[in-house]
Amino acid sequence: MRYNGKKQKGDAYGFAAFLSIVILFHSDLASCRNHLRLLFHDQVFRKETTGGRRSQASMTSASLIGYGILFGFGILFIAIAHTANQRYSHHTLEGFVLAGRALPFGYLSAALFVSWTWTTSIIGSAEAAMQYGISGGINYTLWANLPFLLFIPFVVRLRRLMPEAMTVTEFIGERYNPLLKDIYFVFASVVAMFVLIEQAVGVGMVFEGVFQIPFKVTVFLTIMIVTVYISMAGIRGAVYNSILQFVLINILFLLIIWVVLDKLDLNQIYEVLKQKAYAPDRADPGEMLRVNSIQGFKYGIIALVVATGQIFLDQGWYSMSLSGSSTKNMVWGLIFGIFILWMPIPLISAVIFGHGSLSLSMGVEVASSTSDWPLYFMSHFSNAKYEMVFAMLIFIIGTGASAKCLVGLQALFTVDYYKSKIKRDANTREKIRFGRIIIVCLGFLCAAIAIALEGIPLLQIDTFCGIFFAAPCGALIGGMYYDKMNGRVALVSIVLGLVAGFGTWLFRENGWFVGSILSLIVPVIVILAGALFEKDRYNFYRLRQYRG
């Protein structure tokens, strides 16, 4: 079907005008600024070494630069998506949600790298290094990537068994039953919204700190920018923008590392780590200097549990992977984008930002949340200009990761929901139009939730979601390989996994670690036990007959 390019252009310009209106509310929001200000403002912007606060003129100038970044990149991203939409104006459903399964290796690798580079890739790995020493960043990086070793063969088998499938929920519906398909639809939608919100919250915190732009405004604009260019061009809007985002992320990251290394004393980092490792209050002296520390290993296990749910349940990963032009390109795109390109980012961040923060005598007690220490750290090794570069990097990362989430949500609602719940005989044009409308609605919903989460510790949310998203993974993975499984066993495994995980977390002191593991392991035990009483075997050949 041909779509009206002028209408799409008008939509883009209309949104740009709408964003401009938000600026008019800045003066009203300014009265709330003291409530929105983050902890590190008192540390960074009122340093004793500078003799006082930043001047009002300096703060206004910083705000203008911040808005310039938001609007400048926002308009650029929308323009790129508009160009992609014009180039592929004859949309098919597969073209809209999977780029026609025609992405070459280079495009796919860049898109996957950008999709997996989150704000936590830098900040989370650094915090792990601050808390657990050398093993923190290493365990975060290795264990968070481990689920991809399972995901790659899983998505390869999905592509071969169901060559016309576009979503993971289609597999669930065919393998099990409509009820489980609906349950996994909810899980997939929630995990995508959670990751999207988490990215926006990270961007909002940093921009509030650097540019004095209220948290609410940044969160809203960040989500809306991504929402517009994904609703406009579908997955191609994400992929085409990811090429630019890939280049910018690497340039800005290397620039910041180069600036910090120019002033950072690596010998001092080692001495501080040694002091921390052998401090009198340490239960295990020397642990922070060991690569294989027990505490670092436990943190890595949690990273594994959380990442497993976020990877296997997020339709965005399936959409990105299945868009590869061949199975070979898909596999090598995942290997190159995730393992080769991404892994250096958290490893370097752990050493430079995490251990470097310890060298400033800024321990975990200061880095109480992701809202304070990153810019406090940057202010010691650079001037305000590079703090702004850091904020720009976080914005680029946040938008790139958010785009993958919206791509997945759009695929779920465009391919599955509209056809099965609203209009079974819908044509391609109707499905795509619905997908565009629903993604805008979900964008507003996610923005509202992200704004409401201001001040709530993200660690608590991460722990809850880690347990919640891990429980369904056993039935999903088992259903792909194990023929002695049925819908009843799959449903029971999910319920018992949730009960075991949340029950342990709520009723046992420090039960978050055991609860997270149980939520992933209990379903596997239930599935294996259920197989002992299951006589029928599922015929996987039936999946090959599926026609979307």
Instruction: Please tell me the predicted confidence (pLDDT) of residue 17.
Output: 41
pTM of the model: 0.86
Instruction: Please tell me the predicted confidence (pLDDT) of residue 362.
Output: 56
Cα-based angle 136, 139, 142 (whole degrees, multiple of 5): 145
Instruction: Please tell me the predicted confidence (pLDDT) of residue 56.
Output: 59
Q: Check if the beta carbon of residue 413 is closer than 8 Å to that of residue 434.
A: yes
User: For the CA atoms of the chain, what is the radius of gyration?
Assistant: 23
More confident of the two residues 356 and 456: 356
* Residue 539 in this model has a pLDDT that exceeds 80: yes
What is the distance between the alpha carbons of residues 164 and 334, in angstroms, rounded to a whole number?
Answer: 20
Structure token digits, residue 252: 């800005």
**% the chain with pLDDT above 70:** 84
Q: Any idea which residue has 């929105």 for tokens? A: 36
Structure token digits, residue 329: 């390109």
For the segment 358-371, the average pLDDT, to the nearest whole number, is: 55
What is the distance between the alpha carbons of residues 275 and 254, in angstroms, rounded to a whole number?
Answer: 29
Confidence category of residue 242, pLDDT binned at 50, 70, 90? very high
What is the distance between the alpha carbons of residues 526 and 533, in angstroms, rounded to a whole number?
Answer: 11
What is the distance between the alpha carbons of residues 265 and 276, in angstroms, rounded to a whole number?
Answer: 17
What is the distance between the alpha carbons of residues 314 and 303, in angstroms, rounded to a whole number?
Answer: 16
* Residue 445 in this model has a pLDDT that exceeds 50: yes
For the segment 256-284, the average pLDDT, to the nearest whole number, is: 80
Cα-based angle 265, 295, 505 (whole degrees, multiple of 5): 130
For the segment 297-311, the average pLDDT, to the nearest whole number, is: 91
CATH 1.20.1730.10 fits 5-470, yes or no: yes
What is the distance between the alpha carbons of residues 115 and 78, in angstroms, rounded to a whole number?
Answer: 18
Three-state SS string over 271-285 comes to HHHHHHHCCCCCCCC
Domain map (residue ranges) of the chain = 5-470, 471-548
Instruction: Please tell me the predicted confidence (pLDDT) of residue 57.
Output: 57
What does the pLDDT look like over 128-185, one tens digit per residue?
888 888 899 999 999 999 999 999 999 999 999 999 999 999 999 999 999 999 999 9
For the segment 197-213, the average pLDDT, to the nearest whole number, is: 90
Q: Check if the beta carbon of residue 399 is closer than 8 Å to that of residue 245.
A: yes
Number of other CB atoms surrounding residue 233 within 10 Å: 28
What does the pLDDT look like over 13-70, one tens digit per residue?
444 443 443 333 333 333 333 333 333 333 333 333 333 445 555 567 889 999 999 9
Confidence category of residue 246, pLDDT binned at 50, 70, 90? very high
More confident of the two residues 76 and 265: 76
**Most trustworthy range by pLDDT among 49-63, 203-217, 243-257, 346-360:** 243-257
Confidence category of residue 373, pLDDT binned at 50, 70, 90? low
Confidence category of residue 404, pLDDT binned at 50, 70, 90? very high
Number of other CB atoms surrounding residue 102 within 10 Å: 14
